[in-house]
Copies of this chain bind each other. A is one copy, B any other.
Amino acid sequence: MNQSLSVDCAVFGFNGKSLKVLLIERRYYKPDTRLDKLKLPGAMILDNETLPEAAYRILEEATGLRNVYLKQMDIFSDPKRVAGEELEWINRYHGIQTDRVVTVGYYALVKLDSRTITYTTAKGAQWVDVDSIQRLAMDHKAILSAALTVLCREMLQSPVAFELLPRKFTIRALQNLYSAVLGIDIDNRNFRKKILASGFLTPTAEKEQGVAHKPAQYYTFNKNAYKKALKDKLKLGFINNWRY
């Protein structure tokens, strides 16, 4: 039996309001089949590359971006996860002959801006609201769901949120991101206090401009402060913590 190893990436972006994921239309797609059109970016692993290398390659092909936050998330190894028409499509698309495809799911976090959006749409990809997605090709909906679960967990455990924000951001933007991803309301006054007390934010000289309210300070994420704090503390996180 012939088995193949592939990588699929759930690429997330945040536009200030809602969480987006990058989807691409699959080629050789025949509208008369029952196959879904949209899929996550992914590809077969090449002979001479590691999985992370494959993931970075796929990401660059899909977004034109390097230096993106990327992390392995789960493996989807059901022998029948692609079969029948889906398996035929894969063999035709890749020009191979395989009976089984085990795929490794990665999730990526991208700083959405006009440049990023231009790049990705030029390559035939589209940013879709995560909440609006009903079905995807193959088992990609399940892969996306797994990625979302991991994202929620990571957002609470490590400062990955900053990977979704521009280099300079307001505390409100950070709060909105947490609100959107976790689906909760957060008291702005306590959130500021907590996040500022952490010492992970460095104020910049800039402020918001042209907003219909008091302009907010822009901050940057201080990675060094975070790394320093990591060394100093061991956290017994499963017992006690933050309620919103």
A194 on interface, CB distance cutoff 8 Å: yes
Q: Which B residues are CB-close (under 8 A) to A77?
A: 45, 50-52
Total interface residues in chain A, CB < 8 Å: 42
A48 on interface, CB distance cutoff 8 Å: yes
Identical copies in the complex: 2
Are B157 and A240 in contact, CB atoms less than 8 angstroms apart? no
Q: Which B residues are CB-close (under 8 A) to A200?
A: 239
Are A233 and B237 in contact, CB atoms less than 8 angstroms apart? no
Nearest CB of B to A27, in Å: 25
The docked-state distance in angstroms from the alpha carbon of A239 to that of B158 is 8
Residue on B nearest A75 in the bound complex, by CB: B51
Nearest CB of B to A77, in Å: 4
Are A47 and B104 in contact, CB atoms less than 8 angstroms apart? no
Q: Which B residues are CB-close (under 8 A) to A234?
A: 156, 182, 184, 241-244
Known: A75-B75, A156-B234, A236-B242. 16 other contacts (CB 8 A): A1-B47, A49-B79, A72-B75, A156-B237, A157-B157, A157-B238, A159-B238, A184-B234, A195-B239, A232-B243, A233-B241, A233-B242, A234-B241, A235-B240, A237-B237, A241-B241
A3 on interface, CB distance cutoff 8 Å: yes
Are A78 and B102 in contact, CB atoms less than 8 angstroms apart? no
Interface residues of A in 13-48 (CB under 8 A from B): 45, 47-48
Q: Which residues of A contact B (CB under 8 A)?
A: 1, 3, 5, 45, 47-52, 72, 74-75, 77-79, 100, 102, 104, 156-159, 182, 184, 194-195, 198, 200, 232-244
Nearest CB of B to A74, in Å: 7
Are A238 and B48 in contact, CB atoms less than 8 angstroms apart? no
Nearest CB of B to A8, in Å: 14
Residue on B nearest A199 in the bound complex, by CB: B239
Complex A-B, nearest 7 residue pairs according to Cβ-Cβ distance, in ascending order: A235-B241, A236-B242, A237-B237, A51-B77, A50-B77, A1-B47, A198-B239
Are A157 and B237 in contact, CB atoms less than 8 angstroms apart? yes
Q: Which B residues are CB-close (under 8 A) to A50?
A: 77-79
The docked-state distance in angstroms from the alpha carbon of A71 to that of B200 is 32
Q: Which of the residues B3, B49, B74, B237 comes within 8 Å of A235, measured between beta carbons?
A: B237
